[in-house]
Structure 1
Amino acid sequence: MADSLTDMIVFARVVAAGSLSAAARELNLSLTVASRRLARLEARLGVRLLNRTTRSLALTEEGAMFHARVVRILADIDEAELEATRSKSIAAGLLRITSTVNFSRLHLAPLLAEFQAMHPGLRISLHASDTVVDIVEGGFDLAIRFGALADSSLIAQRIAPDARIICASPAYLDRRGRPQSVEDLITHDCISFGDPPAGEWAFADGSSARLSGALVTNTGEVAHEWALQSAGLVLKSAWFVRDDIKAGRLETVLPHLPLPASPIHAVYPHSRHLAARVRLCVDFLAERLEEAWQTG
């Protein structure tokens, strides 16, 4: 077991350092020993982890998946050692988080910087993507997601409210008219986004509208910009459009027809002992996001 752990440490350091020789120097090992440990690890796993040339190295597909797990294992070991001697109110080690691009930029980035400053022993890696990733396979500790959780093998904790709003610029609505019913949406340019893009908008009363429009994108940020440019209607989380509505840049459409609730959840794998860095981060985000919702 000890040798296996050392081999994983060497592998992780090689990836971080970018070369076998640099990793060997950092670990105070000879190049021969470091190379032998990496080869032994690949032999034990029965797969090649790195494609190596005289000038460069790159993770194989299997190597990338294994590396994500190794990083988490080593971070858990670091935290276990710290927790043995320090308070459980202190977060330490590596915390890997994933969320959507726009929410990461506007809301998570400043909050996570604040959280890291409160816990100097913590390192945070934020993966921003509008594609929903497999957090277990991707080696993530935590995902911040909108709406219901489809995968019951994960734990979802509600951390903030949300409301979805159909909106458009006043200029667009002056030009095309203000919809009065779900049926009216058929005649409007509805901006679709997502990965894959949404094909319809469903309302809380069970009604729905198929989307028709010339503009489709994989990111909500682009869809938001198109709406501001008077290109059509868009369905967005209140977290992204409240300021524009208050300022008059966007106008709510069909406010009398509620859309299904889509609260924000912290999603993480089942764990008998949730790492302190995850537990403390979830609690911190829940507190700060609730404050932001109430004052927004």
Structure 2
Amino acid sequence: MQWDGISEFVYVAENESFTLASKKMAISTAQVSRQISALEKRLNIKLFYRTTRKVSLTEEGRFFYQHCRSVLDGLDAAERAITNLQSKPQGKIKLTAPVTYGEKQILPLVNNFIKQYSDVEVSAYLSNRQIDIVEEGYDLAIRLGKLSDSTMMAKKLGNRANYVCASPDYLDMHGIPHSILELNKHSCLLGTNDYWHFRESGREKSIRVTGRLRYNNGYSLTDAALKGVGIVQLPDYYVQQHLQSGELVTLLDNYRAPDEGIWAVYPQNRHLSPKIRLLVDYLAEQLL
């Protein structure tokens, strides 16, 4: 009883016509009119201004419409979600990820994923540019660090740690820095940013570093550190194996910045399709 007339009301409000609403709902105009009249009587308010030429919402009607539209959207989303749970993942997924992290971590996992779901196709574009995934038609983006776009939905997939490290040969020759201020006495290997990030006395802190070498490539910076050229700050996936082997040594661990998030970001749709939801869940399971 409480739902009677709601759909008719929304259709009339959106079409500004009882006749158009009845055609779209495949019921008679008289039935639409009866349902709206009964709804107005039940609510004890006037929902529409009616003239021979136009139907428009009253102020109370506009307020009521906003809530009714949200309710119907929620019901539609719930129905689609249940249907999707029962359907087999299929179709294309277009995703983007940062270059190095994508090729080293994400795409190998995507390869495992598509082996499980033979009806899924994946197109991936690796770029360090912040891509507008809605404008450029992507289903999913992998982002690192702090998120700035609040219009997107996001799910955390894992964390990455940044390490300051150097080779034993470099430290034997130049000494070990025991505070972040001592970095100004050392040759720092620079990437695209002049600032390195730390945490001191419980607060995050960025300091400007200098050096005679700058690359926009993490593998080249790692190679320079391994060859004793200087000290570097890089994410774990560049240096972890060298730290484990002893080829590199971590420095300033007491000042290490908090781990950064790894995120799956996707448009703010009402629901995720089965293929996107399964891929995001799979990545989270493997990376957390």
TM-score of the superposition, structure 2-length normalised?
0.66
Residue aligning to 2:209? 211
Within the alignment, does 1:87 sit opposite 2:82 as a pair?
A: no
Q: Pairwise mapping of residues 1-296 of structure 1 onto structure 2 (< 5 A)? A: 87-88=86-87, 90-193=88-191, 197-205=192-200, 206-290=204-288
Distance, in Å, in 2 between the alignment partners of 1:140 and 1:229 is 40
Q: 1:85 to 1:234 in 2, by over 3 A?
A: closer
Distance, in Å, in 2 between the alignment partners of 1:100 and 1:208 is 23
Moved more, 110-119 or 125-134: 125-134
Q: 1:254 to 1:288 in 2, by over 3 A?
A: same
SS of 2:130's equivalent in the other structure is coil
> Is 1:130–1:219's contact at 8 Å kept on the other side of the alignment?
no
Distance, in Å, in 2 between the alignment partners of 1:198 and 1:100 is 16
> Quick one: which amino acid aligns to residue 200 of structure 1?
Y
> Is 1:182–1:208's contact at 8 Å kept on the other side of the alignment?
no
Residue by residue, what CA displacement relative to the aligned partner does 1:165-189 show, whole Å, maximum 9, x if unpaired? 1112222222222111011111222
Distance, in Å, in 1 between the alignment partners of 2:128 and 2:170 is 27
TM-score of the superposition, structure 1-length normalised?
0.64
Distance, in Å, in 2 between the alignment partners of 1:245 and 1:233 is 13
Among all aligned residue pairs of Structure 1 and Structure 2, give the percentage whose two residues are the same amino acid: 35
SS of 1:240's equivalent in the other structure is helix
> Is 1:189–1:214's contact at 8 Å kept on the other side of the alignment?
yes
> Quick one: which amino acid aligns to residue 87 of structure 1?
Q
> Is 1:166–1:236's contact at 8 Å kept on the other side of the alignment?
yes
| 1:109 Cα deviation from its structure 2 partner | 2.0
Runs of 4+ in 1 over 4 A off after TM superposition: 83-86
Query: Mind listing any 5+ residue stretches in structure 1 that lack a counterpart?
Result: 1-82, 291-296
Residue aligning to 2:54? none
| 1:85 Cα deviation from its structure 2 partner | 9.0
SS of 1:152's equivalent in the other structure is coil
The CA RMSD measured in Å over matched residues stands at 2.2
| 1:158 Cα deviation from its structure 2 partner | 0.9
| 1:220 Cα deviation from its structure 2 partner | 2.3
Higher Cα Rg, which structure? 2
| 1:86 Cα deviation from its structure 2 partner | 8.5
Distance, in Å, in 2 between the alignment partners of 1:91 and 1:192 is 44
> Quick one: which amino acid aligns to residue 143 of structure 2?
R
Distance, in Å, in 1 between the alignment partners of 2:170 and 2:123 is 40
Moved more, 213-222 or 103-112: 213-222
Q: 1:269 to 1:229 in 2, by over 3 A?
A: farther
Distance, in Å, in 2 between the alignment partners of 1:203 and 1:85 is 45
SS of 1:207's equivalent in the other structure is strand
Distance, in Å, in 1 between the alignment partners of 2:242 and 2:261 is 20
| 1:262 Cα deviation from its structure 2 partner | 0.4
> Is 2:157–2:263's contact at 8 Å kept on the other side of the alignment?
yes
Distance, in Å, in 1 between the alignment partners of 2:158 and 2:115 is 22
> Is 2:85–2:274's contact at 8 Å kept on the other side of the alignment?
no
| 1:203 Cα deviation from its structure 2 partner | 1.5
Distance, in Å, in 2 between the alignment partners of 1:87 and 1:231 is 57
Query: Mind listing any 5+ residue stretches in structure 2 that lack a counterpart?
Result: 1-81
Q: 1:187 to 1:279 in 2, by over 3 A?
A: same
